[in-house]
Amino acid sequence: MFGLPNILLSITALCNVGMTLFIRSRNRENKINFYFSMFSICLALWAIILIMYAVIPDTSIAIYLMKGSYIAALCIGISFYFFSFLFPDKYEIPHFQQFLVYVPSVIFVLLIVSIPQFLTRGIVEHSWGRETILSWPEYIYFTLLFSYLFVGGLVRIWINYFKATGALKMQLLAIGGSVTVAGFLGMYFNLLLPSPFLQDFRYIWSGPLFTFFIAVTITYSIFRFKFFNPRAILAELLVYALLLFLFVRLVLTEAFNDQLIDGVLLGVVGIVGVLLLRSVRREVEQREQIEKLSEEKSEFMTFASHEIRNPITAMRGYASLITDGTTGAVPPKVMDAAQKILVLGDEVLALISQFLNKSKMELGQISYSVTDFDVGSVVSVVADGYRPHALQKGLELKKELDASENLHIKADQEKMKEVIGNIIDNSLKYTPSGSITVAAHRHGVHVRIVVSDTGVGIPAETLPHLFKKFSRADAQKVNILGTGVGLYLAKTFIDAMGGRIWAESEGKDKGSRFIIEFNAA
């Protein structure tokens, strides 16, 4: 009779097969995935054997099916035991442990297959179903072996839980909790009640249902650390749910025409589902490859930038020994060359800093240390650092600061230095002649930093795009060293710190003004 218990077992078997395919499709070489796949497929096999045991009328076949159910249960214990060694740290399974598991397990399988009366002695029919007469010596042997595997694996999971921290601790708690509750319930209904001492086979169908919840929890825990793609998972769940629905309809429908229609639909959905899942997985894999390449590019840029920064810093150090007179008097041409080295070295270091910040941004590694400080003194120090650059270009760099004003703001001081430096450097690049003025003052309840110049100006159509990545104020300009990310980084930093930044210009060749505004502290 194909009643409710067998329908539930059918659903359990189908879901476990689906989970096995899902796990194996992700990484076939991963040992964790292998042993969990074995765990899931043995659960499915166990459920199918119990269905066949209940519905096949030939009792001689039913006896061998019951033998097969104990072999499947033993395989479940073995796969879980080995899984506990590998998750989450992928420890190698000691050879001694493998010997302790495989030798008694192989002996049990050989005996139960080769000796007809081993473990199972006969079958008794009842109104509620079948009962198998079990031999207690062999049953005790199986119980001890299975308990060693189950309890041993469970203890190892809980030991890992007490050692773990963070999200991993929560995942191990989910596994340990589900295995403890569902595992012991399964042992009660499938190991204790059917034993030769109690002989109650009415609930043997419930074991696979309990262990199915273990499989679901472990599936989630495995992929919790793999950052799996939600779109792919949703597609697979929808396909599996539709297949499960059609399968249940096929089983429950009695009319032949309905069975034929449901069978055809099941086949069509199966084929279309496979094609759909392949398409989604291919897209996800391509996207993951692109993201991986992007991350590797960012990591390479970070590494390369650090390697370039070191020799340039050393070069600037030697040039500064000449400009500050440490090496003694030098001819004017040598002094001019040393100053150019310093200026160009500063520009290259600024470029490297911009690339480093861009790479950190892409990797999510930018952090902010917000403090209360006087931004007026920061503006003064940064502006003084760019005086050699202005002198080299024949420009006048002016400061407009009022020491009596309260110019305190709350922001990241180092990030503010970098932003102000980027804007001054930008003005130097686009000002062929004239002057650059750096000011800081109160504007109502706000503090404003203003960098204005007499340079080439900014066309009105360019202003809305000025702070975008790789945007340049004048794409026709040549011989301008820059990355096109300086203003983008400036806006990103200022926005993150709670301020505002914008640019103003009356048009081409009429100069420009960059304004940074923060609430006064």
- Say which CATH number the domain at 478 has: 3.30.565.10
* 233 falls within a domain: no
The verdict on residue 257 lying in a domain is: no
Copy the structure tokens of residue 109. Answer: 């399988």
CA distance 244 to 8: 11
List, in sequence order, the alpha helices (H) in 164-255. 166-187, 206-224, 230-252
Q: 113 and 161 share a domain?
A: yes
- 379 and 480 fall within a common domain: yes
Distance (Å, whole) CA 112 – CA 119: 7
Query: Given this model, what pLDDT does residue 139 score?
Result: 94
CB 449 within 8 Å of CB 515: yes
Q: How many CB atoms lie within 10 A of CB 252?
A: 12
Identify whether residues 34 and 163 lie together within a single domain.
yes
Cα 92 to the chain's mean position, in Å? 25
User: Are residues 161 and 77 located together in one domain of the fold?
Assistant: yes
**9-47 pLDDT, tens digit each:** 888 888 777 777 766 666 666 777 788 788 888 888 998
Do 383 and 314 belong to one domain?
no
Q: Give pTM, 2 decimals.
A: 0.49
Domain boundary (341, 362, 383) is at 362
509 half-sphere exposure, CB direction, 13 A CA radius:
0
* Residue 264 is assigned to a structural domain of this protein: no
What is the total residue count of the chain? 521
Sheet with 435-443, strands from edge to edge, namely: 396-401, 435-443, 446-453, 512-519, 500-504
Which among 209, 272, 267 has a CA at the least distance from the CA of 238?
272
Number of structural domains, the chain? Answer: 3
325 with 374, same domain: the answer is no
Half-sphere exposure in the Cβ direction for 502 (13 Å, CA) = 7
CB < 8 Å & 24+ apart, contacts of 151-159: 152/81, 152/84, 153/77, 153/80, 153/81, 153/83, 153/84, 153/179, 154/84, 154/179, 154/180, 154/183, 156/84, 156/85, 157/84, 157/87
Identify the pLDDT of residue 161: 86
Cα 202 from Cα 56, distance rounded (Å): 17
Are 202 and 128 a contacting pair, CB within 8 Å? yes
Q: Which residue has the tokens 């703001």?
A: 409
How far is it, in rounded angstroms, from Cα 451 to Cα 515?
7
In this structure, is residue 194 part of a structural domain? yes
Q: What is the mean pLDDT of each run of 10 residues along the chain (521 residues)?
A: 75 77 67 81 89 89 93 92 80 83 94 93 88 93 94 90 78 80 86 90 84 69 51 62 68 74 81 76 72 69 66 77 80 81 73 68 75 93 86 89 88 91 88 93 93 90 80 48 70 92 89 94 83
- Helix axes 230-252 and 256-323, enclosed angle (nearest 10): 170
- Same domain assignment for residues 389 and 320: no
Same domain, 36 and 176: yes
One domain, residues 314 and 399:
no
What are the tokens at 211? 């262990």
Looking at residue 106, what is its pLDDT? 95
Q: Which domain holds residue 87?
A: 4-228
Q: Which domain-ending residue is among 186, 211, 228?
A: 228
| Residues 307 and 411 reside in one and the same domain | no
Cα dihedral 346, 349, 350, 356 in deg (nearest 10): -170
- Whole-angstrom Cα distance, residue 486 to residue 471? 9
Please indicate, yes or no, if residue 28 is contained in any of the structural domains.
Answer: yes
